[in-house]
Structure formats: structure tokens, C-alpha cells
Structure 1
Amino acid sequence: MKKLIFCFDGTCNSPQDADDFFEDSSISNVLKLHAFFGGKLNSFNARKNVKRNSVNTITTAQQSFYYSGVGTRGSWLKRKFNAMFAPPYGDMDDIIANARADLSTHFSEGDAIYIFGFSRGAAIARMFAAHLPYKVKFLGVFDTVAATRGSLDLNPDTFPASGIVFENGTLGAHVEQAVHLLSLDEKRILFQPTLFNYDKRVTEIWFAGVHSDIGGSYWFDGLSDITLQFMLDSVRDKLSIQDINEIDFAGLKVPGAQDSICIDDLNIKPLVDGTLHSQIRTNRNAATLAPRLVRVNIDDAKSKHIPIIHHTVIERFNLVSGYRPYSLRDLKFKVINANGKLGKIQQGISSLG
């Protein structure tokens, strides 16, 4: 029995993010997962961001497949168009088609399937999982954004309809477990998350940070290392995870890329006081920002279930002067501690202290 892992990166994310060394930019958590699972990039075409050969293997027992994000393929104009609108005839369908082809080529009866994604890549991961005819052992996603197919909504009081890409966020009966890690501090209305429908198989947890502080892609990645570590810990008993000193960095070199992924890109150092990359808007564009609506959904609507906050939110609140997650204002929530236990119901920002 093999373990097949499918990793779908976020909008505009690709291995070339490692080239931006002098900017606050780096590779995402999805690509880091691919590396820790033993995945390779030698078959990745840097100029076109497509795979020439889909086999990425550490052993025959575990194979990882990586797909760069929406907006990383084709001409400059095509990349920009797909990044903004993700039309049904664009990158999203191409990525899913590539993943299905890899599955068809490598799947054998009894193989275990694991799927990961970030942002629109998380939406793609969930679509891919939803339509598989096989069992999925684990679905792990970072801050799902389903602002796809031109579905633009600037109303801060509405969530993106999960029917855009899902059936009311319902996890398919063939998926054993799902983990969804979410941003407390993202304010861009177009980046409202697409939540799962409440299900005992689903773990949804909110963390300090904006969208890419959860899914990664910043060089100053102390916050996204918290979520990366959480996701790795969630599958540690299921998948083979390499130590950073065991990773074959030569296998992560992309032909034609300026810089290669190196140990600096994959070093994990979670920091509760790490840089939070807040968005700043002028008064003219302030209407595009609003606090996130933190909740647990049932059929695209707020339910009676209490949302779960990660314990590092409390630690940041007590360590970083001025950190006040507005999305928790007057909100009832529970805190999951470092041992995975849930605390009592708390209410409001002041209860963090």
C-alpha cells in the first residue's frame, strides 16, 4: 500500500517565491509540507510552472505531488487574469486535471490519499477531495478562500457561498478526517474564508495572523510556522516526515530558477510574537476591509457551536503590546491548549488576559 499526497499551493505561490530573498517573501506552508514529505521539484518547469514529469518520490511507499497556485501559469496577462478571477476555464481546472492524471497514473487499490492546500489551493484541494471515488485519509487546508469564478462580494456581513465550489461545505462521507486552520486577523473582505460545515470529523481552529501568516509565503514566518507545526503534528502518526537534515535539497532545485530552496526556507521556528502582516488601506479603499466573522457554520449559516481559538492567540495577546484581535470582540469561544484539550467557554477580547 502506498501513500499518495497531493499539495495544492495558494494564489500566485510557486517554488520561485524562494527567489525573492531580499523581500519579505518565501515559499508557502504547502510547498514546505511537500518538502518534508520527501517531494521533489526536479520535474518542475520554472519558466512555465508546469510539471514535465509528475513522479515525486522518496520511496515507493510514499509519493508527494505538488501543484503551483492559481495565477502562476502562462503569459503575464493570463497569470494576472487567473489570479484575480480564477475562471472555470482557467488554472483551477488545469490544476485539478493534472492532479487527476497523477492519481490515475499512480493509484492502486488500497492506497491511502492525503490532500493539502492553501487559499484558493485549499478550495481546489477540497474540490479535488469531494469528487474522488476513493477514500481520503486526511484533508488539511490553510485558510480556504473560494473567491473564485468571478464571485466578488464586498459585503462584510456575508460569507462566500460554499456552493461556489462545495455543497454547503459538507465533508464527503469518504473523507476520514479534515483539519482547517484559519486567520483571525485577515481583514480583506474578498478573503473571507469558506468554512466547513460542522462535522465531528472536522477540526477548525483560528490562529493569530492574516491570510499568509496562516498559509505561509512570508520570509518573516514565525506565525505561519505555528500553523505549519500544527499541521505536521496532525499527520505525524500517519505520514513519513523527514527531519530537515534528511531533506534532499538537490531534489528541490528547480531548473531555470535563480535560487534554490535551502535549509533557511524550511527551518521551523514558531513565534507567538512573530510579525503580523496587517493590510493598510487609504480612506478611499477602507471599504474593502472588515474584521472577519469568526463562527462555526452549518449550511452556510452561523450555528450554535462555539469556535475554537489556538492557545498561541492568548500568548500573543499577553506578549505583544497593542495586539487586540477585533474579530473576537464580544465573541464566545473556546481555547485549545498545547495538549489538544479544550478549555471552558470564554467571551470577548478581555477574556484573553
Structure 2
Amino acid sequence: MKNIVLCADGTGHRGGYGRDTNVYKTYKAVDINSPGVDQYTFYDQGVGTDKSDTSKNKYRTALSGAFGFGFRNNVLHLYHFLARSYNPGDAIFLFGFSRGAATVRAFAGFINACGLVDRNHSSVQTNGAFDADKFQELVERAFECYQHNKNKPAQQKFKDQYALKESIHAPNGDLKIKFVGVWDTVSALGFSQDFSLLLKWIFSTAEKISNMIPWLAHDFYDYELNNSIENAYHALSIDDERTTFHPLVWNEKNFTGHVEQVWFAGVHSNVGGGYPRTGLSDIALQWMQSKAQAHGLVLYQDHLTAIQDSANIYDKLYDSRDGVAIYYRYGPRNLSKLCDNKLKGNIAIHLSAYKKIKELSDGYAPDSIPSSFDLVDIDPANPAAATVISKINAEQPAKWAALARDMDEVIKKRKNLYRVFVELTMAIIVISGLFWVWPPASVVELNTCEKRQLQIAQTPYTNQFNALIANPFVVYEQSIDSNQDADTAPEFCKKANTPSFKWLADIARYLTPAYFENFITYVFEVHWWIFVGMLSTLLYLSSIRKRCINKLDKVCRAMSDLLPKL
């Protein structure tokens, strides 16, 4: 018997080629030379990465990262490895982060629905030997059954006919998965339905079409807990503010195995890893690996020591919507709503996050903490179990409720602010496209003027160069003809050159694609007052956003003060 460890990474993450996530760290930490137990490991890099080191397609990679194309292949990669390496009695460990977490959860749903193809089945043999082509065909048939998730009889028929069966570990084809450990599960597959009102119909139509194409369809995946899973652990981020990254919280209600879902301080990659500074993510890593060890996974001791030393609750908490990420839909995580009617008990928050709140060392005041929750940590004597240190209840419930209403109002205002910002951006993109195809007459006039002036300025130098080529032994001199001086340019040139923002237009054209060139000319040079209005609007929106952030921080700090001390 052996441990089989399957690891699926998050979007854009390719272990060993940059900042590693907790998934890749776990993959590398598995002691494959352990004298006590054989351990097989498999790592699958995330969607939005090119699988080849030599053949790359940046456009395909970008689309894959944005819309989750390739998710199907990631699920099949795990299935292939397991089917080729599993023997009855082996313990299966699954680890994933972000879309990789969704991958291992979808994979577990695949196993539950159709079982694991028996590589020793007669249908995948040719002359008594394993036939890779027949095996591939059978796996594809299994996935087709999984896609038609409403056809339960067909799934059961496939399982009965082709799935591996063993009385203890795969009774009736129901293969047992020892451990599922995921960090901040995000599916975010397909086309966003709420990015912009201008694109809502287009994206909605594209979503419907994509679900009709077998290799793009994604609405059939089963991410929930099932009877194949024995132990499930989920580390979740408290502080991420992107609606697209809202986590898929497991519904525990009908699950008979052991499950823990614990919330940690930080944004998405502060929990799952991938940032330069890993103090926060190492806390969630240490928690998960302690659980896995308790279930029989053997890890290198040097790795465990290093993670223990680097875990730091006071390390940097990143901004999930910093820079270009500001275009992600704004929506702080409401823990109570995300967990509503899904948990067997209370929401569980890790001790480290609560310490960060109450010790006031860096002003940490999350805007999603519920008024009542369980405080949890690892019990060294029994790390596999859920250990509740204390049950926390906020003081002064009436005051808490009033502050919660204030918080909701500020969040609502920021969501409206985001909507205005995005729609203005989309308007600029659309208008730029129209100007690119059908440039306004004033823009054409100005462009013609600038080209004419450039030709006038270059004429004497061109003449000198041509004369030098014709007779290189004669020194040629020519002065600029006064009739060609820029001051005598046609009247429309003088009129068009009146705007005073040409230097800003030149900078903007240098920094942006040619697609925006005519729009830039129009708003910077022809009608400069439009640029002034745009800049004023941006500054106004920015000031409102800053006031909202300050007010939200103040309200959340007041709410945190109502939580009891440790």
C-alpha cells in the first residue's frame, strides 16, 4: 500500500518557475524516499499556464487564465495518473488552491459519479497487455457520463461495468478518497455575468454557447462533498474583496465524513500562497499539512521546520484589488452569507486571525467577521480533529447590529462607485473603437496637419541627403525656403495646433495601443476640455473611494473592539 498525492495548482501558477503556492510547496514536501511508506506524487500546473517549455501561445494562455479554458484537461490529468498508479488499499490525498481547489473537488465528483477505470479490465487490454489507446477511449467515455450528470443510471451503469472494485476501499466501484485539502476554492469558469452592463448580454450569450461545446462546458461539475471522501479540509481567506474570487464553501449538512472549514487572515494568495512574502500563507500551509500528517502523509522534516519558522501573522497582508486588479468586481466576503445553511456548526476562525484583530499591532479590522463564531487551532495531541478553543460572541449586540448596518451602507456605496468606474472605462473603450474605425473629421484634419508640418520640416534635410548621394565629393548647402516655413502653413493647421495638451497626448499614445490613438487626439488636442472633465471625474471618484475606505475602516475597528479579548 502507498500514498498517492495529487496536487492541482491555481490560475497562472506553475510550480518551480516563480513564487510557489502552498500546493507546490506541499508537492515538494512529500517525502518520496520515506522508509516507512511508498509515496507517489503528481503535480498539475494551473489553468492560464502553458504546459510546454518550448511551444508557447500567449493568446491561448491568456484566454485560459481569464475564462478557465483547459479546466477539463486538468481534471483528466489527475484521473489518468490515478487510474494508472492506483492499487487497492492505496491512500489518496488531494490538494488544490483556487481553481486548482475546484479542480480536485470536481475530480472527486468525477470519481464519485463514475468510479475509477480499472486498468486491468479486459476492455483496455490487447492480447493480454495494457492498451493505452483503449484506456484513453474509456476515460473519455467516463467523462462523457460525468458531463451528463442528470443521467444517474448511465453513470451507475458505467461504474458497474468498468470501474475498479474492491470490497473495502472501492465497494461497488465507490473508490475511497482519504484526504481532500484545499485552499480558498474558486471556480470562476466561463464568462463573467456582471462585469459591465454594456457587455452583459454578450457575455451571457457566450456563456450559454460555451456550455453547448463539450470541451468548454463547465456547468456540470460537482464540487460538493460526497460519500467517496473520508476527510475534507478547507482553508479560506477572510479579506479578499473580489466578487469573482468568492469561495465555494462546502455544504456539510449531509456529509458523513470529517470536514473542517477554517477562515484565515489575508486575501486569496495570503492563504493559498504565491506572494513574495509568505508569512500569512505559511500559517494556512502549516495547518493543512498538520492535518495531512495526522492522516498518514509523510513530509520532509526540514520543510516542516522551515514553514514553522517562517509562519508570521504580522507579515504583509496584500491588497486584492491593487493596480489593474481594481477592475475586479468589488465585493468583500460576507462570511455569514457565504456559509448560510451550509455548516453543521458555527463559522470557524483560526486563532492566528483573532490574535491579529485583538493585538492591534497593524490596525487589522476585517469587514466580514460575524458576531458569533468558533475560535479554532491545532491540538498537538489530536491534530486530525477539529479543536475549538473558545466560542466567541460579540458584546453589545444592539451596537454591533447598528455598526453592521453602517458597514453595509458603505460597502453598497463602494459597489455603486465601482459600477460607475467600470462603465466609464467601457465607454472609453467603445468610443475609442468607433474613432479607430471612423475617425472624426477634426482628428483627420489634425493628423493631416501634423504630417504636412513634418514633411515641411524634413524637406531641406531630405534634399541635402539626396544631393550627397548623387555627388558625395561636393559639399552641398541649402537653406530652408521661407515659403516652406511652418509659420506659413495652411490656416487649418494653425487653428488645430491651439490645444495645450499635445505633450500629454504624445505620452498617452506612447503608453497605449494604436487602438486608442484617435480618441487620445480628440480629447487631448482637439477638445482638450473633455480631458479636463475626465481628469476631474477621476479625481472626484477617487476622493469618494478614499472617504469610503476610511469610514469602513473606522466602522470595522469599532466592531472589532466589541469582540472579547483572548
> Do the two structures share a fold, i.e. TM-score over 0.5?
yes
| Contact 2:34–2:298 (Cα < 8 Å) also in 1 | no
Deviation at 1:287, TM superposition (A): 7.7
Tell me the equivalent position of 1:314.
354
Unaligned stretches of 5+ in structure 2? 51-55, 116-174, 197-217, 380-386, 395-558
Structure 1 residue 171 and structure 2 residue 382: aligned? no
> Which residue of the partner structure matches residue 47 of structure 2?
70
Taking the aligned partners of 2:372 and 2:276, their CA distance within structure 1 comes to 33
Q: Distance in 2 between matches of 1:232 and 1:283?
A: 33
1:183 to 216, 237, 249: 237
* Distance (Å, rounded) in 1 between the aligned partners of 2:325 and 2:21: 31
Pick aligned residue for 2:83 from 101, 104, 118: 104
Q: Are 1:244 and 2:455 matched, yes or no?
A: no
Give, in whole Å, the separation in 2 of the partners of 1:98 and 1:191.
24
More strand by share: 1
Alignment of 1:272 onto 2:295: no
SS at match of 2:354: helix
Query: Is the 8 Å Cα contact of residues 10 and 70 (structure 1) preserved in structure 2?
Result: yes
Cα distance 1:282–1:128, how it changes in 2: closer, same or farther (>3 A)?
closer
> Is this contact kept in 1: 2:268–2:320, CA < 8 A?
no
What amino acid sits opposite 1:334 in the alignment? D
Query: For the structure 1 residues 135 and 284, does the alpha-carbon distance in structure 2 shift closer, same or farther, using more than 3 Å as the test?
Result: closer
Q: Alignment partner for residue 286 of structure 2, among 229, 243, 258?
A: 229
Give the counterpart of 2:261 among 204, 213, 218.
204
Contact map agreement 1:182 1:205 (CA 8 A) in 2: yes
- 1:6 Cα deviation from its structure 2 partner: 0.2
> Residues 58 and 97 of structure 1: is their aligned pair in 2 closer, same or farther, counting only changes over 3 Å?
farther
Q: Which residue of 2 aligns with 1:349?
A: 560
Q: Any idea what the Cα deviations from partners look like across 1:109-151, whole Å, max 9, x if unmatched?
A: 2211110000000000101112212110000000000111225
Structure 2: how far apart are the matches of 1:206 and 1:142? Answer: 10
Q: How does 1:126-145 map to 2 (within 5 A)?
A: 126-132=105-111, 133=115, 134-145=175-186
* Corresponding residue number in structure 1 for 2:99: 120
In 2, distance between residues paired with 1:335 and 1:2? 35
Q: Cα gap change, 1:279/1:322 in structure 2, threshold over 3 Å: closer, same or farther?
A: same
Percent identical: 30
Q: For residues 242 and 293 of structure 2, what CA distance do their matches in structure 1 show?
A: 33
The structure with the larger Rg is 2
Task: Give the Å deviation of 1:295.
Answer: 3.3
**Matches of 2:272 and 2:107, distance apart in 1:** 19
Q: CA–CA distance in 1 between the matches of 2:11 and 2:62?
A: 10
Q: 1:177 to 1:345 in 2, by over 3 A?
A: same
Q: How far did 1:321 drift? A: 2.7
SS in 1 for 2:176: coil
**Does the CA-based 8 Å contact 1:294-1:327 persist in structure 2?**
yes
Deviation of the 1:97 alpha carbon: 1.7
Matched, 1:195 2:188: no
CA 1:279 to 1:179, structure 2 compared with 1: closer, same or farther past 3 Å?
A: same
Stretch deviating more after TM superposition (316-325 or 214-223): 316-325
Residues of 1 paired with 2:327 and 2:190: CA distance? 24
One-letter amino acid of the counterpart of residue 115, structure 1: L
More helix by share: 2
Separation in 1, partners of 2:85, 2:327: 48
The 8 Å contact of residues 326 and 349 in structure 1, kept in 2 or not, is answered as no
Q: Match for residue 259 of structure 1?
A: none
Match of 1:83 among 65, 84, 99: 65
- Secondary structure in 1 matching 2:310: coil
